[in-house]
């Protein structure tokens, strides 16, 4: 069986093997897809070693989102090759054109590493508070992004925050470090929450479309960029035949 060792965006090393019949059956299990666990179970079926050890499902769920995306790309390339074709629905509401995109999973994407996989600190522009931020794991993403439902932005924001130190403008120093409640975070000004979102999206590791590829996948009708194509989140990424069964809608 084909084997390969890859370095993940967090710096971890993974030894992967190509997909098997078992991996395919995980991808087609309605119940695993519905409860969102198919991704971890699938990754585990193709993961021989993680940092030199045999991983468990819990280890795979604990991997950062960017590491999981990099793994999916590596498994896809190893098992089925680097060419990926999919149909995309234009994200422009007034257009909604459906069109075909062809991507080279090696050259149309680039790996962005996590500078520090454990997270980062940020001083908020409006309140002046200092927040410690962590990146989302596979488990976090499974809980926060339920299938076919809109994600709750406040819950995502809350999950990123490890702790806060409030700026005391009278004493001119930071107060003690604590974990805020979701109610408190819900009251933070938009300028601060947007600053957190921007920084997370800038520092999150993973595989991202290159600028050239981004232009190449723009809508041929209205020119809208589709932004990030969440291709790897779908069983059809690994099982092209599924596209037809799912009615062709992949976005």
User: Nearest approach, Cβ of 34 to Zn ion (angstroms)?
Assistant: 31
What does the radius of gyration of the chain's CA atoms come to, in whole angstroms?
Answer: 20
- In this chain, which stretch among 62-70, 104-112, 205-213, 215-223 interacts with Zn ion, using CB under 5 A? 215-223
d(CA 108, CA 131): 34
121 strand-pairing partners: 132
Residues 223-242 that bind Zn ion (CB under 5 A): 224
Counts of helices then strands in the chain (DSSP H, E): 11, 11
State which residue, 63 or 217, has the beta carbon closest to Zn ion. 217
Q: Does 90 bind Zn ion (CB under 5 A)?
A: yes
State which residue, 153 or 222, has the beta carbon closest to Zn ion. 222
Phi, psi of 163 (to 5 degrees): -160, 165
State which residue, 127 or 224, has the beta carbon closest to Zn ion. 224
- In this chain, which stretch among 26-34, 118-126, 174-182, 214-222 interacts with Zn ion, using CB under 5 A? 214-222
- In this chain, which stretch among 45-53, 70-78, 89-97, 141-149 interacts with Zn ion, using CB under 5 A? 89-97
The 3-state DSSP composition of the chain as helix, strand, coil percent (nearest 5) reads 35, 25, 40
Instruction: Write the DSSP string, 102-124.
Output: EEETTTSEEEE--SSTT-EEEE-
Size of interface with Zn ion, in residues (CB under 5 A): 8
Alpha helices in 9-64, H assignment, sequence order:
21-27, 30-35, 38-45, 57-61
What mask, x for binding Zn ion by CB under 5 A, covers residues 157 to 196?
----------------------------------------
Q: Does 97 bind Zn ion (CB under 5 A)?
A: yes
Q: Does 221 bind Zn ion (CB under 5 A)?
A: yes
- In this chain, which stretch among 22-30, 40-48, 127-135, 211-219 interacts with Zn ion, using CB under 5 A? 211-219
Q: Between β-strands 83-89 and 98-104, what pairing exists: parallel, antiparallel or unpaired?
A: antiparallel
Contacts with Zn ion by CB under 5 A lie at 90, 92, 95, 97, 219, 221-222, 224
């Amino acid at each position: 069986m084909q084997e390969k060792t890859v370095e993940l965006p967090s710096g971890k090393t993974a030894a992967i093997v190509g997909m098997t019949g078992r991996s395919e059956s995980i991808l087609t299990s309605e119940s695993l897809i519905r409860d969102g666990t198919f991704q971890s179970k699938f990754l585990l079926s193709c993961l021989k070693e993680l940092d030199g050890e045999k991983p468990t499902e819990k280890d795979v769920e604990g991997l950062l989102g960017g590491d999981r995306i990099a793994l999916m790309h590596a498994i896809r390339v190893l098992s089925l090759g680097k060419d990926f074709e999919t149909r995309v629905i234009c994200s422009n509401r007034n257009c909604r054109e459906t069109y075909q995109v062809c991507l080279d999973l090696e050259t149309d994407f680039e790996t962005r590493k996590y500078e520090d996989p454990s997270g980062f600190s940020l001083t908020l522009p409006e309140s002046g508070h200092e927040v410690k931020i962590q990146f989302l794991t596979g488990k976090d993403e499974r809980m926060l992004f339920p299938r076919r439902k809109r994600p709750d932005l406040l819950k995502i924001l809350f999950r990123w925050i490890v702790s806060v130190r409030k700026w005391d403008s009278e004493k001119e120093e930071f107060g003690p470090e604590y974990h805020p409640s979701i109610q408190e975070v819900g009251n933070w000004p938009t300028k601060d929450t947007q600053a957190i979102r921007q920084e997370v999206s800038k520092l999150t590791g993973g595989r991202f479309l290159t600028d050239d590829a981004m232009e190449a996948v723009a809508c041929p009708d209205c020119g809208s960029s589709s932004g990030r194509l969440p291709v790897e989140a779908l069983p059809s990424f690994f099982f092209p035949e599924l596209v037809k069964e799912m009615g062709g809608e992949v976005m």
